[in-house]
């Protein structure tokens, strides 16, 4: 395949008078695993949420496989695309959230199959078979009939990842997926993310797990005050940061 | 001269008017609850997700209706709409008034329930590509229903009780029928107690049904 899977150009986003993204440019090639790091308030999560239109943005373009996400510009006028079109575009990406956000009134399997049935229009049998395959892949097939309240945080997050990945998105977005977990549950989730990376899944990860970013990413982006402060190969960046800000940030981060 | 009739004989004699009245009460309540729930759910959606202008309109409607005594709504629906050229029977006018009343309550209950669902739920639904209506039907709606159920049951019971107000515009529901029977038999205490028992039975049935649905929809 040629070209970039994701192209972000001049991304601007503001909340009222506060400009959180001040022109972000970023290209992601197929199969890249990119960690986005930075202190809180630097805009990393906001940037991720713009990619699947969970946040509206006022300026710039986001393209997935060349297709403009969320907005259409015609005759110099920028318009939000119709809701149905945005729903379809959201399914091009999969997202895992810090708080898991599993649907509490559905079993693990039902959580995974909902989108398959409603969005992918699969039959019940088809969706269940695929759902079970993915639950098995995250090691939770035996828990398929459990409700989220009966699962540990780590298990819930693995189900949430299975729910996203079962939709066969072109790009996976991970938003601090281990931040809400007890320390002893982090490893099982990172293990799942790592195995997806090994499969060649293209992914953007907002993370505070520096060790993980270091080991898994093909590229690291350091966000600083709404802009990309520095980016590059994790080994180079972590060993010799070019900017003062990144050096400071790395010093204050834990590597464990 | 016949010996004075016992209460049970009087009840037997009055069985048809009383049953007819009970049926009318149930019919009024059912129609108002169904209509009010459909309308109120839409109101709740507008109050929660609507544009600024539509939210304002819905807010005005609910606050106005909730701030008006039900009896005033009933009288207005019967007399004012008649003057305005909308010729409704007493039954129709009464059901309309109760439906409007019910919708404002259900609207508020629905809004409260929808707003108390964690916003991550809607986001997770969006993230897998669900449209808003799919998300409401499968993700937000079922969770809102569970949260709103106790308040909805309460509203339904209120509607049954409010249906007695239709007696003032001459709808032959249970209370009016009871009063008619009393005017023939002069046994006011006994027949009011009987009517009270019948209202209680209807409301108890609603509460049992509510409990059953609550149990069925509660998380495993």
Please give, rounded to a whole number of angstroms, the shortest distance from the CA of B147 to a CA of chain A. Answer: 12
Query: Residues of A at the B interface (Cβ-Cβ below 8 Å)?
Result: 52-54, 83-84, 87-88, 90-91, 93-95, 97, 99, 101-105, 114-115, 118-119, 147, 149-150, 160, 163-164, 167
Sequence-distant (6+) residues with CB within 8 A of B123 are A54, A97, A101
Looking at residues B80-91, what average pLDDT do you find? 89
Within 10 Å of residue B9's Cβ, how many Cβ atoms? 10
Q: Residue B161: inside a domain, yes or no?
A: yes
Facing residue for A101 by CB, picked from B123, B134, B146: B123
Interface test with B, best of A105, A109, A116, A121 (most B CBs within 10 A): A105
DSSP B3: P
**Helices A153-165 and A183-198, interaxial angle, to 10°?**
20
User: Which range, of A1-15, A24-38, B104-118, B183-197, averages the lowest pLDDT?
Assistant: A1-15
Q: Which residue, A51, A36, A87, A99, is CA-closest to A237?
A: A36
- The pLDDT of residue B73 is 96
Interface predicted TM-score of the whole assembly (ipTM), two decimals: 0.93
Q: Which residues of B75-92 are buried (b: 16+ CB within 10 A; e: fewer)?
A: bebbeebeeeeeeeebbb
Does a structural domain hold residue B203?
A: yes
Give the pLDDT of residue A3: 78
In a domain, B75, yes or no: yes
**A10 is written with which tokens?**
């001049």
Query: At which residue do the structure tokens 């129709």 appear?
Result: B92
User: What angle in degrees, to the nearest 10, is found between the helix axes of B188-217 and B15-49?
Assistant: 40
Residue-level pLDDT at B35? 98
Tell me which residue in A87, A118, A147 faces B138 most closely, judged by beta carbons: A118
Give me B206's structure tokens.
């609603």
Percent of chain A with pLDDT over 90: 93
- pLDDT band of residue A49 (cuts 50, 70, 90) is very high
CB contact under 8 A, B126 and A54: yes
Q: What is the mean pLDDT of residues B45-62?
A: 96
* pLDDT bucket at B85, cuts 50 / 70 / 90: confident
Does residue B1 form part of some domain?
no
Cβ separation A104–B143 shorter than 8 A: yes
Question: Is B2 among the domain residues?
Answer: no
The nearest alpha carbon in chain A to B219 belongs to A105
Number of separate domains in chain B: 1
* CB atoms B118 and A101 under 8 Å: yes
pLDDT digits (tens, 9 = 90+) for B129-157: 999 999 999 999 999 999 999 999 999 99
The mean predicted confidence, pLDDT, of chain B is 94
Model confidence at B217: pLDDT above 90: no
CB contact under 8 A, A83 and B132: yes
For A125-167, the pLDDT digits (tens) are 999 999 999 999 999 999 999 999 999 999 999 999 999 999 9
Residue A113: both structure tokens together: 């199959």
- The nearest CA of chain A is from the CA of B220 a distance in Å of 7
Model confidence over B12-44: pLDDT tens digits?
A: 988 999 999 999 999 999 999 999 999 999 999
Cβ contact, residue pair A105, B142, below 8 Å: yes
Between A20 and A75, whose confidence is greater? Answer: A20
A99 contacts B120? CB cut-off 8 A: yes
Best mutation target among B51, B118, B125, B128 (most A Cβ atoms within 10 Å) is B128
Contact list, B128 vs chain A (CB under 8 Å): 90-91, 94, 114-115, 119, 163-164, 167
Q: Which domain holds residue B140?
A: 7-216
Residue A86 has what pLDDT?
97
Cβ pair A118:B126 closer than 8 A: no
Domain with residue B205: its CATH number is 1.10.3720.10
The average pLDDT across A107-130 equals 97
Interface residues of B toward A, Cβ cutoff 8 Å, are 118, 120-121, 123-132, 134, 138-139, 142-143, 146, 217, 219-220
Cβ contacts of residue B202 below 8 Å, gap of 6+? B22, B25, B26, B29, B160
- Residue A256 — very low, low, confident or very high, per pLDDT cuts 50/70/90? low
Confidence at B86, pLDDT banded by 50, 70, 90: confident
Average pLDDT estimate for B201-216 = 93
| Cβ distance of B120 and A101 shorter than 8 Å | yes
Q: How confident is the model at residue A2 (pLDDT cuts 50, 70, 90)?
A: low
Residue B156 belongs to some domain of the structure: yes
CA distance B44 to A250: 48
Cβ contact (<8 Å) for A90 and B132? no
| Disruptive mutation site among B117, B122, B126, B127 for chain A (greatest number of A CBs within 10 Å) | B127
Nearest CA in chain A to B124: A101
Angle between helices A124-137 and A153-165 (to 10 degrees): 130
| Residue A124 pLDDT grade (very low, low, confident, very high; cuts 50, 70, 90) | very high
Distance from CA of B48 to the nearest CA of A (A): 17
The length of chain A in residues reads 256
């Amino acid at each position: 395949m040629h070209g970039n899977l994701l192209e972000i150009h001049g991304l601007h986003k503001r909340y009222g008078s506060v400009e959180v993204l001040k022109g972000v440019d970023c290209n992601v090639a197929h199969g890249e695993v990119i960690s986005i790091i930075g202190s809180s308030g630097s805009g990393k999560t906001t940037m991720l949420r713009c990619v699947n239109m969970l946040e509206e943005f006022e300026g710039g373009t986001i393209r997935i496989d060349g297709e403009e996400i969320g907005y259409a510009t015609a005759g110099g006028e920028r318009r939000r695309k119709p809701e149905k079109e945005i729903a379809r575009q959201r399914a091009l990406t999969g997202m895992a959230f810090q708080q898991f956000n599993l649907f509490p009134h559905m079993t693990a399997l039902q959580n995974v199959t909902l989108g398959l049935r409603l969005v992918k229009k699969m039959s019940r049998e088809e969706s269940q078979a695929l759902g079970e395959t993915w639950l098995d892949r995250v090691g939770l097939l035996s828990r398929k009939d459990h409700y989220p309240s009966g699962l540990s945080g780590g298990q819930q997050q693995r189900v949430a990842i299975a729910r996203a990945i079962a939709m066969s998105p072109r790009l996976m977005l991970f938003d601090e997926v281990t931040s809400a977990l007890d320390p002893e549950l982090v490893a099982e989730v990172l293990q799942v993310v790592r195995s997806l990376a090994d499969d060649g899944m293209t992914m953007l990860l907002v993370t505070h797990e520096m060790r993980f970013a270091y080991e898994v990413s093909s590229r690291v982006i350091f966000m600083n005050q709404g802009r990309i402060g520095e980016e590059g190969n994790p080994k180079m960046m972590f060993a010799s940061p070019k900017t003062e800000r990144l050096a400071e940030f790395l010093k204050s981060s834990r590597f464990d | 001269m016949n010996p004075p009739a016992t209460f049970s004989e009087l009840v037997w004699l009055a069985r048809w008017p009383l049953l007819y009245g009970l049926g009318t009460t149930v019919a009024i309540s059912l129609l108002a609850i169904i209509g009010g729930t459909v309308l109120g759910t839409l109101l709740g959606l507008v109050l929660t997700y609507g544009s600024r202008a539509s939210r304002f309109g819905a807010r005005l409607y609910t606050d106005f209706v909730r701030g008006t005594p039900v009896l005033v709504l009933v009288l207005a629906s019967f007399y004012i709409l008649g003057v305005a050229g909308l010729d409704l029977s007493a039954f129709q006018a009464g059901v309309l008034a109760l439906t409007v009343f019910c919708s404002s309550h259900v609207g508020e209950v629905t809004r409260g329930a929808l707003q108390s669902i964690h916003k991550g739920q809607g986001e997770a639904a969006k993230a897998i590509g669900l449209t808003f209506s799919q998300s409401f039907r499968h993700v937000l709606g079922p969770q809102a229903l569970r949260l709103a159920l106790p308040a909805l049951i309460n509203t339904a019971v209120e509607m049954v009780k409010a249906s007695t107000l239709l007696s003032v515009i001459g709808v032959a529901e249970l209370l009016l029928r009871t009063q008619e029977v009393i005017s023939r038999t002069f046994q006011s205490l006994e027949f009011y107690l009987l009517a009270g028992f019948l209202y209680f039975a209807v409301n108890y049935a609603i509460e049992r049904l509510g409990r059953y649905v609550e149990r069925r929809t509660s998380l495993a």
